[in-house]
Amino acid sequence: MQTRSRLLAALLAVPLMLVAAGCSSGSSSGSASTTGSAGGSCPYTFAVITHGDNGSFWSVVYKGAKDAAGQYGCKLSEVYGSQQQGQAEPDDNAEDAQIQDAINAHVSGIAVSDHDPSLMNPTIAKAVAAGIPVVLLNAGCDPADLAATHAITCVGQPEQVAGERAGAQFQSQGSSNVLCVIHQSGQNLLDRCNGIAQALGVGSTCKTGAAPSSGPACTELILSTPNAASNPQQADQQVVSYLQAHPGVNAVMTLNNAIAGALIPLLGKSSVKVGTFDLNAQVLTDLKDGSLDFAIDQQQYLQGYLPISTLFLYLKAHGNEVSPGNVLDTGPLVVTQSNASAVQAAINAGDD
């Protein structure tokens, strides 16, 4: 942990030194750009392409990318988000097309969430073959995908490990019959649930179907409500109905903070413990008053900031690579009532 902390501190310090020195002049194509207030002239344009929207999670990712580009004085193509507000699922074909568009535009580097590896890996590999360095972010943090895409690294949270942390947290508090609520498709969500199952010692996968009357157990509930995160009140009725039908469940892990926020009032004074992934102001309030048991923070600001830093250093420093072929972890951090105040400033600043 100390080694990783020193690495992140060094990366975050680099922009100030390099912007002060200034980049060499030049230009590159891009649909939109940000320029560092320090006045540095950087020749690079980086494309940021994700499967997300501009909601509370992804807006922080994009802020991190913009801040890094601004501090270096580089340009940033704002090709944000294949999933628009109100869509039920991310549009992986649209994201794959955006990657190809970035290749055609001859950008200097690409930061991309590899949301559908079977579809996107060949396109990402095509970018690298064209001489465009790539850093994966948020999704695709798997050794096989890193090898297939030839990306430098993946900046994100090891989802299996994050799930294991959540399962261990519940187990330490005596709540081991866990319902894992999946709000949209995506292998990363399945990995989170499977991590919970492993921590509870009930096998390598979280099961579907009816939850048993007692734990340890992990049961998945895949919400049928379209775009559950955008309509959490309706989606959470499914969770409440499931809990009423399976009274043995004593813990719920939601994989989206909007789902957790809407679920807590519906549970009232229930003894069921609730955990969630990712932070926002409401999650922090719920942690402080004890209505939410814990949250898994993947520090998404770093998932935007560090890919731009990594790409810049790769180009500026003659191919120097950060964590080559491996995951550059940004989590998981377990936030509870006891340490919730420590992240308050980051949330207030829009950095978490």
3-class SS of residue 180: strand
Question: Tell me: the pLDDT tens digits for 15-43?
Answer: 444 433 333 333 333 344 444 444 457 89
Q: What is the mean pLDDT of residues 79-104?
A: 82
DSSP-derived letter for residue 87 is: -
3-class SS of residue 135: strand
Both tokens assigned to 258: 């909007």
Fold: same for 2-157+299-331 and 159-297: yes
CATH topology of domain 2-157+299-331: Rossmann fold (3.40.50)
State residue 13's pLDDT score.
52
Lowest mean pLDDT among 200-204, 234-238, 245-249: 234-238
Sequence ranges of the domains in the chain: 2-157+299-331, 159-297
Q: What is the mean pLDDT of residues 74-81?
A: 85
Q: How far apart are CA 303 and CA 187, in angstroms?
A: 18
What's the distance, CA 197 to chain centroid?
21
Question: Domain 159-297's class?
Answer: alpha beta
Per-residue CA distances from 136 to 109, 142, 294, 327 (Å): 11, 10, 28, 9
Q: What is the mean pLDDT of residues 59-63?
A: 92
Per-residue CA distances from 28 to 75, 77, 102, 124, 157 (Å): 8, 10, 12, 20, 31
State residue 12's pLDDT score.
52
Confidence grade of residue 81 (pLDDT, cut at 50, 70, 90):
confident
State residue 306's pLDDT score.
97
Q: Is the pLDDT of residue 229 over 80?
A: no
In 3D, which of 212, 210, 213, 256 has the Cα closest to residue 236?
256
- The fraction of the chain above a pLDDT of 90, given in percent, is 61
Question: Tell me: the pLDDT tens digits for 42-55?
Answer: 899 999 999 988 77
Q: Is the pLDDT of residue 173 over 80?
A: yes
Amino acid code (one letter) for 32: A
Provide the mean pLDDT of the chain.
85
Instruction: Kindly tell me the number of DSSP H helices and DSSP E strands found in the chain.
Output: 12, 13
